[in-house]
Structure 1
Amino acid sequence: MLTRSEQLFQRQRTVRETSTLANAACIKNLHSQPKNLLHTHVEQSHWYRMMLRVEWAFLGLSPVEIGAILANIASATAPRSNYLLDTIVGYRPGCWCYEWLRYSVSLASKQQFLAAAMAASIADYPHFRQDPLRVKARPLLNSYYEEAMRAQEDVEKFEQIQVEVSGKSARGYLHLPTTTRPVPLVIVFADWSQLYPEWFALYREGLAKAGIAMLVIEFCGSHGLSDFTWQQHSVAVYQRFIELMIDSPYIMSTHIALIGYRFSVPTAVKIAQLNPDKIQKLVCLEPAVSSIFSQENSHRQLPQMVRDGLASFLGGDSSQWQYVAALLQPFSLKVQGLLKRHSWSGQLLTIYHHDSLLASKDDIKELLMMADTSEKVILKGPDFSDQLAQVTRSVVHWLKNQLSYV
């Protein structure tokens, strides 16, 4: 009988390669595609996945080890689905998931469970819905993260929160700095390109010290919400989490803020507007607002990985883009009528890159005018993901001021 480790690293040559999952045409030449979500990285043209080295290091992984893993992938000689380095066919050495899981297990063997969970999350990246390799990464991610939380001094209680909506189950991930008294809460609506451990840095870098709890809810259709599909009316599952947290003995029901990131921003805005008496603080990070959903010329600027990811979560095929584009339109905040001036009575913080592909200047202007009070932080220079330390400081500073109860 195979050991657990032998089972985990048992090679499979017939597993579909990630870049082909949401694209039946299996695009062979992507040189004409933009090289990153924001700016050109020299190395990006050689990879299907967007390379987020600075972000992964900020999450707690060694830059040296990151480089070594990418070198292993790049130097692999097994067949690839196209010329891009991270398109090794099958689950074996050189496969993205295989190499990152091997690193994850190595970290866990050294009792570095938080870093091991981060590595397992990256093994699953970019988290497409139908990727068969996710079943290898997710159990390790959950196990290592729970082990890490037991050792974290600033996490008195970590709990998987489960809700039922229309007979389907959804999970959120609650981090509490104390259980001796009710505390303010930040609810994070993650983007499809993330899993919940990737938000721990926000908690670690300031929320915990400020006595603020954090609940992370993954993207509709992602692991924690895998029973649900991403659609305009899928806000019901997020609404259920809001109701549950308001009734929680651990949470100050009058001190709840929301964070929306990229493609989760429309959901966060809609939830805030549906609950104006309960949600008065909202943070929108690198927001996808309107034009990215409704204007096809904006779609053409997106990297192929992002186009494939959107198709994956909409149940479409990115080689049939007109169909996917039609499915995207209802998510536009303008189409939904949610960008009317002063349509929400709360306080809004928006942080975005001045050269973002996800929102036009008019989008940002209308988003800011939606709230009674709004502030903005405009990033310049490196990509948004390369400035997460600055973004985190800005978010924590704003939330501490807005959620202060002393």
Structure 2
Amino acid sequence: MTWQPDMKDDGSGAVKGMQRKQASETSSVANSQAGQRPVQSGWYRRMQVFKWAWQGLDPLLLQEVQARIAVSTNKRTHEDLIDTVIGYRPGNWNYEWSQEGALRMHDGKAASAAGERDVARKHFLQSCLFYTIAGYPHLRGDVLAEDAHVLANQAYRYAGQLMNDPLQIIKVPYQGHELQCYLHLPKTDEPVPLVIMAGGGDALQSDYFRVFRDYLGPLGIAVLGVDMPGVGYAEHWKLDQDTCALHLQVLHHIQDNPWINRHKIAMMGMRAGGHAAVRAAYLEPDLLAGVVAIGSPVHEAMVDKQLASRVPQMLLDQWASRLGLDAAYPELMMATVANFSLRRQGLLGSRRTSVPMLAIAHPNDEYGTMTDAQLIASSSVQGELVRLKRPTFASSIDTAFVTAAKWLAKRLL
């Protein structure tokens, strides 16, 4: 195979190196007051070790990279925040995770050249994951994160060429731009059911490859990934209260795909993606056979005036980035977020949708609360609620997707 990247290369030229060293550090990208506010000691980013391990990364290696970041003596935006080393250099979050991504990319190319398809595919998928973590939490305007996203998608496409059923890229025109979505199809010559996977606001669509490989693909169900507005391939658009507009464009576009059974399409979303999926159930009930919302805030957290004072700064920055606002003004931001409440929008609680909906939640989750999950389930004529029982929401991700896959199979097969 000849490696011809179709995206900008991660060159090491002097100009690019200077740009990287001068790039804004992530904690200052969405907050004009970064560096001028008191912070609590610890990490700026929320560690998602359970998720990264579930995706297929070695927990010991994850700890090793975190340790390299922690021991760095390079200057930080906040000396009390471990992962705020300034510039693309040792100790910088993006730098350390990108090193691992580059190693796996090299190993993948070597294995592919030697004809070891399975080994190469594994390396490329891991490279994608490491580069994706390098770009986390995926703030708009974060130059280093944008570079990492390019390389993550490059690695994912390389892996896609080596899959038993090669990855398909669906291009959907929307508001003057083109949204790229990854479509994974099970091996069959017949049109298949489809689940549109709406990731959360802190993930790229490639994060959910395992949903297809381990849960839905073996059942004969295709998966189409869609980035949330403000993230990944959807970075051109700001998130607004019509959270599912982009997904509905994809839903309409995919109707004519010859490989998809358009009468058997469902949506599944995690966190903000679940909000979009539930909203879509009200706006296009005739096109959806089911909706799954996992840990999804739809009302309670959005109208909680004290939430901004309790959540980590990274989450505030993330919301500000998606909304096109400044995290230095949380009161204005939370006033905007209140308009996202699906109850206030006159949907949940006012009438039932005909689309079957499954709400999955953890009793101790303060974002996608059990109250919101009950509201989702009660707002469908065939609504169901599942309570996760493991210690935390993060540790329940495998259980959540196993449960969702079984539920979707009953409605799509």
Q: For 1:108-131, what per-residue CA distance to the aligned partner results, in whole angstroms no more than 9, with x for missing partners?
A: 222210111111111100001121
CA contact (8 A) 1:205 1:392 kept: no
Q: Which residue of 1 aligns with 2:301?
A: 292
- Aligned with 2:89: secondary structure? coil
* TM-score, normalization by structure 1: 0.90
Name the aligned partner's letter for residue 17 of structure 2: Q
Unmatched 5+ residue regions in structure 2? 1-8, 109-122
Cα pair distance change 1:67/1:5, threshold 3 Å: farther
CA contact (8 A) 1:179 1:250 kept: no
Q: Which residue of 2 aligns with 1:145?
A: 156
Residue 51 of structure 1, aligned match among 17, 25, 47:
47
Q: Which residue of 2 aligns with 1:6?
A: 12
Q: Which residues in structure 2 correspond to 1:2-401 (within 5 Å)?
A: 6-7=12-13, 10=17, 12-26=20-34, 28-31=37-40, 46-82=42-78, 83-111=80-108, 112-153=123-164, 156-178=165-187, 180-233=189-242, 235-340=244-349, 342-401=351-410
- Cα distance in 2 for residues equivalent to 1:117 and 1:282: 28
CA contact (8 A) 1:157 1:179 kept: no
Percent identity reads 31
- Cα distance in 1 for residues equivalent to 2:151 and 2:10: 11
- Aligned with 2:382: secondary structure? strand
Q: For 1:162-184, what per-residue CA distance to the aligned partner results, in whole angstroms no more than 9, with x for missing partners?
A: 11123222222111113511000
Looking at both structures, which has the greater relative contact order when contacts are Cα pairs under 8 Å and sequence separation is at least 6? 1
CA contact (8 A) 1:188 1:215 kept: yes
Name the aligned partner's letter for residue 285 of structure 1: I
Q: CA deviation at 1:358?
A: 1.2
Name the aligned partner's letter for residue 275 of structure 1: E
- Cα distance in 2 for residues equivalent to 1:385 and 1:255: 30
Q: For 1:360-406, what per-residue CA distance to the aligned partner results, in whole angstroms no more than 9, with x for missing partners?
A: 443332221110112222123433222222222111121122211xx
Q: Which residue of 2 aligns with 1:42?
A: none
CA contact (8 A) 1:157 1:178 kept: no
Cα pair distance change 1:276/1:186, threshold 3 Å: same
Name the aligned partner's letter for residue 138 of structure 1: H
Deviates more, 1:20-29 or 1:64-73: 20-29
- Aligned with 1:106: secondary structure? helix
Cα pair distance change 1:337/1:203, threshold 3 Å: same
- Cα distance in 2 for residues equivalent to 1:352 and 1:236: 24
Cα pair distance change 1:4/1:221, threshold 3 Å: closer
Name the aligned partner's letter for residue 22 of structure 1: A
- Aligned with 1:267: secondary structure? helix
Cα pair distance change 1:76/1:349, threshold 3 Å: same
Deviates more, 1:3-12 or 1:117-126: 3-12
Higher helix share: 2
Aligned length: 387
- Cα distance in 1 for residues equivalent to 2:308 and 2:289: 32
* TM-score, normalization by structure 2: 0.89
Q: CA deviation at 1:67?
A: 1.1
- Cα distance in 1 for residues equivalent to 2:360 and 2:309: 24
CA contact (8 A) 1:232 1:330 kept: yes
- Cα distance in 1 for residues equivalent to 2:95 and 2:171: 30
Name the aligned partner's letter for residue 42 of structure 2: H
CA contact (8 A) 1:228 1:234 kept: no
Q: For 1:72-100, what per-residue CA distance to the aligned partner results, in whole angstroms no more than 9, with x for missing partners?
A: 10011100111111000111111111111
- Cα distance in 2 for residues equivalent to 1:223 and 1:359: 23
CA contact (8 A) 1:52 1:386 kept: no
Q: CA deviation at 1:341?
A: 5.4
Q: CA deviation at 1:269?
A: 1.4
- Cα distance in 2 for residues equivalent to 1:200 and 1:225: 18
CA contact (8 A) 2:88 2:94 kept: yes
Q: For 1:207-263, what per-residue CA distance to the aligned partner results, in whole angstroms no more than 9, with x for missing partners?
A: 111110001100112121122111123533221110111221111111111012112
Cα pair distance change 1:219/1:207, threshold 3 Å: same
